[in-house]
Structure 1
Amino acid sequence: MTGSMMIARTAVAWIGFPAMVSATAQHQAPPPPDPKDTEVWAPEPARVAPGSPAAAPSDAIVLFGGQDLREWVSTASPGQPASWTVKDGVFTVRAGSGNIQTRRLFTDYQIHLEWRVPASATGSGQGKGNSGLFLASTGIDSGYEIQILDCADNRTYANGQAASIYKQHIPLANACAAAGEWQTYDVLWTAPRFASDGALLSPAYVTALHNGVLVQHHVALQGESVYAGKPSYRQHGAAPIKLQDHGDPVSFRNIWVRPIATAASLTRPGQAARPTSP
């Protein structure tokens, strides 16, 4: 091979080299993502001091703290004070006086409630320690009910036992304590939404724990609780929470509620995803 031919071939090789480098660069992996790109720093959740077995969280509305029923009114006589019996930090159904409901109205919320059927309770089925927690009261005897009943050793229809969404959703477990023992309900309530013409936009949802056991897991309600027939919806807005007088001396204590704000209401436009300096 002559010197001129070698020079020519070398020149061709060098001419092609930049193209090879360019093609290799085009196939290089992109740089790894920066973890900071997915850090959200604002808005920050509000600080809430957690409660204890005897105290509510710092942002809760206390509906009964052991002293009086100032947060409750009679449903039988609208606007009149609730007339159930208050004694020793507990209040008890006064049979025949009617249901009671909160003075305040609520939409979506978390509620904690403690209840007790007396150890001396007699009867069977629906006749032993019967009451109810109505998550939204739409009338004297109407609304959406979680059943309160002694079911530790007392059989009844499954969709009417303690922790059922009455006549709609059977609880996932029977977590009843014995009559005479205090029991807890911790419930998340999402109210139904309606269009201006009354059409249902989204149903009510309930998640509930009975004595710390999950018994209702984000169940969709078919409407208000009814004793006979099929449940259905009727338009309503924010509503009171109601407790039922079913004739049995069921007692209550330590009731509090935390209204739930939607994620949209917590968003403040214009805030940076993270501070400019950590």
Structure 2
Amino acid sequence: MIIAAALVLLAQAPAASAPAADPAKPRPEDTEQWKPVPETVRPGPAVEIAPPSDAIVLLGSAGLGEWASVKDGTAAQWLFDKGVMTVKKGTGNIQTKRSFTNYQLHLEWRIPTGITGSGQARGNSGLFVASTGGGDAGYELQILDSYENETYVNGQAGSVYKQLAPLANAMRKPGEWQSYDIVWTAPTFGADGALKSPARLTAFHNGVLIQDNVVLRGETTYVGQPQYKAHGPSPIKLQDHGDPSAPISFRNIWIREL
């Protein structure tokens, strides 16, 4: 009888409530911007642009020799076939073996046909125009399927991730090649590590201006506000986001140092 009574009292006791969220703790959604939505601009047909005479070819017909694993510095393990490099899930981010400061970059990328998912889970990757450390450290220009795919505007294709929405949505359909053309001006720092001049970026997506000499507020962060930390010349990094439905492919990557 004592046990039965105790069970009755336990059943009548109010359920323990979940701990309240800490309003002072940053959340990913705090830095999402949903409006205004950039205008949709349909670009012209894809044209593969050959590298100029003074360019360094980072990805062409010769394979992945310019790329290494971010995790351990070994040879990049992504797939390569006839000039096309495709993310191999689980192998991690890759970055150039060379480091750069200011440059012009051309890069072509493709979301596969038949992609599923929505929002950020639809062909997610990233171009880090300067990789300042392991993982996702650096400054990211977002790669995503933004063709009729709603998400926060500072996280869609062509955004400086979590900082600056693109001026337009110039996305082609999945299965078609996309291009980024970028002018990157790296930040400069004093001898004490203090910021002297911020980073700037101009970018075209499929020939459409999407970032016009914008000033970055610091390195990319998923949670919290961007900040700068002193660094010098840096590799260029491509992200293995682990999206199982979208093995993103790249081709024709070249750079001109400025």
Aligned equivalents of 2:175 and 2:60: distance in 1?
A: 20
| 8 A Cα contact 1:167 1:225, kept in partner | yes
Q: How does 1:57-68 map to 2 (within 5 A)?
A: 57-68=52-63
Higher relative contact order (CA 8 A, sep 6+): 2
Report the counterpart of residue 92 of structure 1 in structure 2: 86
Report the counterpart of residue 120 of structure 1 in structure 2: 114
Match of 2:257 among 256, 259, 266: 259
Report the counterpart of residue 98 of structure 2 in structure 1: 104
Report the counterpart of residue 221 of structure 1 in structure 2: 216
**What secondary structure sits across from 1:155 in the alignment?**
coil
CA offsets 1:119-160 (integer angstroms, 9 cap, x no match)? 121111011011100000011221000000000111110000
Aligned equivalents of 1:77 and 1:97: distance in 2?
A: 11
**What secondary structure sits across from 1:77 in the alignment?**
coil
Aligned equivalents of 2:105 and 2:78: distance in 1?
A: 20
Report the counterpart of residue 35 of structure 2 in structure 1: none
State the one-letter code of the partner of 1:74: S
Pair 1:165 & 2:163 matched: no
Report the counterpart of residue 71 of structure 1 in structure 2: 66
Q: What are the ranges of 5 or more consecutive residues in structure 1 without an aligned counterpart? A: 1-51, 261-278
Report the counterpart of residue 204 of structure 1 in structure 2: 199
CA offsets 1:181-217 (integer angstroms, 9 cap, x no match)? 0000000000000000000000000000000000000
State the one-letter code of the partner of 1:57: P
| 8 A Cα contact 1:61 1:256, kept in partner | yes
State the one-letter code of the partner of 1:196: A
Report the counterpart of residue 41 of structure 1 in structure 2: none
State the one-letter code of the partner of 2:103: Y
Identical aligned residues as a percent: 62
Tell me which structure has the larger Cα radius of gyration. 1
**What secondary structure sits across from 1:159 in the alignment?**
helix
1:107, CA displacement in angstroms?
Answer: 0.1
| 8 A Cα contact 1:66 1:253, kept in partner | no
| 8 A Cα contact 1:132 1:145, kept in partner | yes
Pair 1:130 & 2:124 matched: yes
State the one-letter code of the partner of 2:251: R
State the one-letter code of the partner of 1:143: G
Report the counterpart of residue 228 of structure 2 in structure 1: 233
Aligned equivalents of 1:67 and 1:246: distance in 2?
A: 25
Aligned equivalents of 1:54 and 1:223: distance in 2?
A: 31
Query: TM-score scaled by structure 2?
Result: 0.79
Aligned equivalents of 1:92 and 1:53: distance in 2?
A: 17
Aligned residue pair count: 208
Report the counterpart of residue 143 of structure 2 in structure 1: 148
1:88, CA displacement in angstroms?
Answer: 2.6
CA offsets 1:2-45 (integer angstroms, 9 cap, x no match)? xxxxxxxxxxxxxxxxxxxxxxxxxxxxxxxxxxxxxxxxxxxx
1:55, CA displacement in angstroms?
Answer: 1.9
**What secondary structure sits across from 1:139 in the alignment?**
coil
State the one-letter code of the partner of 1:212: G
Report the counterpart of residue 266 of structure 1 in structure 2: none
| 8 A Cα contact 1:67 1:86, kept in partner | no
Q: What are the ranges of 5 or more consecutive residues in structure 2 without an aligned counterpart? A: 1-46
Aligned equivalents of 2:105 and 2:49: distance in 1?
A: 15
Aligned equivalents of 2:88 and 2:56: distance in 1?
A: 24
Bigger fraction of residues in helix? 1
Report the counterpart of residue 182 of structure 2 in structure 1: 187
